[in-house]
Amino acid sequence: MLKDITIGQYFPGDSLVHEYDPKLKILTMFVYIISLFFIDSFIMYIPIVIYLFLILFNAKLPVGLVLRGLKPLRLIIFVTFLINLFFTPGKPIYELGFLKISQEGIDLAFFMGIRLILLVLGTSLLTYTTSPIELTDGIESLLRPFRKIGVPSHEIAMMMTIALRFIPTLIEETDKIMKAQMARGADFESGNLISRAKNLVPLLVPLFINSFRRAEELATAMESRCYRGGDGRTKMNTSKITSKDISIFVGNIIFFVAVIVGSKI
C-alpha cells in the first residue's frame, strides 16, 4: 500500500505542461478545484476527464501510476459516499432502521465520489509536473502581496514545499522499517483493529526518531549555507510569464467556465 502513495513525487519532462508557468499552474488548479463543486450534471464531468487525460498524455505520465494514487484513499472515498447516501435529507425511497436512502442522497453520493476522485487526480498532476523549487517560487510569488500585512510568504512557501517533498522520503523510510520489523517477527496485517494499532508502535517510534533526525540535518544544512529566510534573497532562475502561458491560462479559464455554464443549462 505504501508504494501506492504517489503524492509529492515529481516526474521531469519537457512537455507543454511541465513548461507552464508555476504561478499560473497553481491558479489553474484552484479554478479547477472550484469548478468541480459547481458542476451539477454528471455528463459535464466527461469533459473534465478528457481534460485530465490530455494533460497525462501531453506530460507523458504513466496512467497506471497516476490512477494507483487513488488506492490509499479508497476508504475515505467509500465512507464519504456512504455518509452522503444515508444522511442526505430527502424523500426516502428505501429505509433500513434509522438509515434512509433518498434520490437526493444517491445523486449527492455519486457527485461527491466523482468529485473526490477527480480532485485527487487533478491536484496530483500539479506535483507530478512541477519541481519543488518551482512550487516554492510559485507559492511565494502568489503570497507576496500579503507581505504588506505581515504574512511571511517565503517561509510559508518553503515549509509547504519541504513538507510535500518529504512525503516520498518518509514513505520509503516507513517501508524500510516495516521490512526490518517483519524480519524480526512483527505482524502488521493479522488481528483486529486494536491489535493492528498496537503492532504499529514499533513502527512509529523509529519513524518519528528518523523524521526528527532528518529535520535536524536539514536545518543544519540550511544554516551552514547561511539561509536566513526570504529577505534579500536572489534567484538563479526566475520564472517569467510568457504570452504562451497567458494563452494557456485564458484557455483553461474559458474551458472551466464553459463546463460550469453547460452543467447549469
Tens digit of pLDDT for each residue in 223-258?
A: 887 777 666 666 666 678 889 999 999 999 999 999
pTM score, whole prediction:
0.76
Q: Are 126 and 26 within 8 A, CB to CB?
A: yes
Q: Report pLDDT for 27.
A: 92
| Residue whose C-alpha cell reads 540550511 in the numeric block | 222
Query: Left if phi > 0, otherwise alpha if psi is -120 to 50, otherwise beta: which for 21?
Result: beta
Per-residue pLDDT of the chain (265 residues; tens, 9 = 90+): 445 555 667 788 888 998 899 899 999 999 999 999 898 888 989 999 999 999 989 988 888 777 877 777 788 888 888 888 888 887 777 777 777 888 888 888 898 889 999 988 888 888 888 887 788 788 878 887 877 887 777 778 777 777 777 777 777 787 787 777 777 776 666 666 676 667 777 777 888 888 888 888 888 888 887 777 666 666 666 678 889 999 999 999 999 999 999 888 7
Q: Report pLDDT for 7.
A: 61
Q: Are 148 and 128 within 8 A, CB to CB?
A: no
Dist CA 183 CA 221 (whole Å) = 34
Report the candidate in 128, 140, 123 with the shortest Cα–Cα distance to residue 238: 140
